[in-house]
Amino acid sequence: MDLAAYLGKAATAWFLGFFPFFEIYVAVPSALALGLDPASAVLWPVLGNFAPVPLILFGYEQLMRVGAFRRLLGGRTSARFTHLVERYGAPFVLLITPWIGVWLVAATARALGMARRPLLFYALLSITVYAVVITAGLNLGFEALGG
C-alpha cells in the first residue's frame, strides 16, 4: 500500500474513533476492513478516540459557555454515574470509558474535579486495551473462518 492510501485509511480510522457514537467499536473493525494492519488498526482509532480527552480537559470552561454543549453534557450525567466516579475515580474511568463514550466520561470527570493526569492516563489505557481486545478478537475470528 502506498503512503497516500495508507494516510487516507489512517485518517478515516482516526476520524471514526474521534466521532461520538462510533468511537472505538466502529473504528477498529473499520480500520481492519479498510486493510490496515493490526497495529495501525489499533493506533489510529485509539489516537482518534483519545483526542477529545485533552480537548475537553483543557477547554472545558469554554465548552460549557456554549449552550448546546452545556445541555448535551449537563443532561447526560446521572446521580448514579456521578456517585460512581466520585467513589471509584480513575479505576472506574478505566472500566467505563469505552462503554459510555470518552466524550461523556471526560466531561463528567472534569466537572467532578477529577485530576487531569489520572484521567488522561486511565482514559488512554482503557481505550487502548479495548482496541487491542477488539483487534485480537476479530483476528481470531478471521483465522477461525479460514481468512
Specify the pTM: 0.79
User: pLDDT, tens digit, for every residue of 60-100?
Assistant: 777 777 777 667 665 555 666 667 767 777 777 777 777 78
The domain tally of the chain equals: 1
SS3 content of the chain, % helix, strand, coil (to 5): 80, 0, 20
Q: Which is it for the CA torsion 95, 100, 102, 106, positive or negative?
A: negative
Q: 487531569: which residue's cell?
A: 116
Q: Which of the residue ranges 9-23, 30-44, 100-114 would you say has the lowest mean pLDDT?
A: 100-114
Host domain of residue 134: 3-144
